[in-house]
Amino acid sequence: MANRGFGTPHAPPRGTFCDPAGRGVQATTGESEFDVFKVKGLGPSAVDSSIRDGCVRLMDAIADPDIPLVVSRSCTWTVEALGAISPDRKRPDVYDEKSSYTHALDALRYFMVNQAVSRQDWPDIDYDGLPSPFSQF
């Protein structure tokens, strides 16, 4: 467990999913966002995909009747963003990218696109006797 300076130890992230554009080198720093993540000990993953691909996967996860996307109520911005998704006026199969929630929705979209190809073995977590909500991993 890593201590992130808040006095409470936290488990390291199970995955870091990024915008594929993050592979590009920044003119001001000479580094890519992927390089910055790697220096911090994270192994970013990104799959080239369209915005629509990620939106379809996100909406499918929300609507899945067997194991829908579940978000902790402590993730208030994510919960608020999901409750405020509105379609783009010209492209109704994607969300409105002018929304103040675009960053949170983009992060979810990167996760949805990447998680299927970035599977790895993770240690079991005790969910109080319930099956893991992440059985696909």
Q: Is residue 98 part of a domain?
A: yes
Q: Is residue 66 part of a domain?
A: yes
What pLDDT digit, counting tens, does each position of 94-115 carry? 888 888 888 889 989 888 888 7
Same domain, 98 and 61: yes
Q: Is residue 93 part of a domain?
A: yes
pLDDT band at 116 (very low <50, low <70, confident <90, very high): low
Q: Is residue 121 part of a domain?
A: no
Q: Is residue 120 part of a domain?
A: no
Question: What value does the mean pLDDT of the chain take?
Answer: 77
Domain assignment of residue 82, given as a range: 49-109
What pLDDT digit, counting tens, does each position of 52-99 carry? 888 888 888 888 888 888 888 888 999 999 988 888 889 888 888 888
Asked if the model's pLDDT at residue 45 lies above 60, the reply is yes
Same domain, 54 and 40: no
Same domain, 35 and 55: no
Q: Is residue 137 part of a domain?
A: no
Strand partners, 32: 25
Q: Is residue 96 part of a domain?
A: yes
Query: Structurally, how many domains does the chain consist of?
Result: 2
Asked if the model's pLDDT at residue 122 lies above 70, the reply is no
Same domain, 55 and 20: no
Per-residue confidence (pLDDT) for residue 36, from 0 to 100: 87
